[in-house]
Chains A and B, each alone.
Chain A
């Protein structure tokens, strides 16, 4: 499956994008998850558990929202930097 970039723009899709990222990680894909612009809307137990699982599975997660970086440990990436990573991805999945 190669390298997959999961792009999440809609707060309503944040959990769905995370679950899908995990599904692909379990299928041995290399996954980079990008949360764009918005802060994680509902950091409940389910989201946190799945996010920690993504980290354990060596998935990468990036955001251009500094609150996500400060509060939840996302790596910062600007839109331009994310765009360059999208170029390198074999598959881009916008949520």
Chain B
């Protein structure tokens, strides 16, 4: 059962859901792509965030990241993964299913 799952994370309340769903989808051979925006970018500061690396393609809204006073590297993200809202639109367009946390 191939397919791509897109995940938008706009809340800082459900990192456990994001990790569980990503791991389950990854185990089923799904491609997973996650975009963090708004308060969701705060989750990048959790030690648990590392669990997503290697199981999903990760990017975030740089505007939100800076606005919330964050700086520095994030595990699993390169320079170009600090992106704009257009990235979220691209994920929607390229995903077979899309969920929001």
Contacts and interface: CB of A to CB of B under 8 A. Distances in A.
Establish whether A and B are touching in the complex (CB under 8 Å).
yes
Interface of A: 1, 4, 12-13, 16, 19-20, 22-24, 26-27, 29, 91, 93-95
A88 B91 CA distance: 21
Interface residues of B, number: 17
Contacts of B38: 13, 16, 95
Contacts, number: 46
Given A4-B92, A26-B89, A29-B89, 17 more contacts: A1-B89, A12-B39, A16-B10, A16-B64, A20-B37, A22-B85, A23-B86, A23-B89, A24-B89, A27-B86, A27-B92, A27-B93, A29-B92, A91-B98, A93-B98, A94-B100, A95-B100
A29 B92 CA distance: 10
Main secondary structure of the interface of B (DSSP, over half): helix
A29 B98 CA distance: 15
A82 B37 CA distance: 25
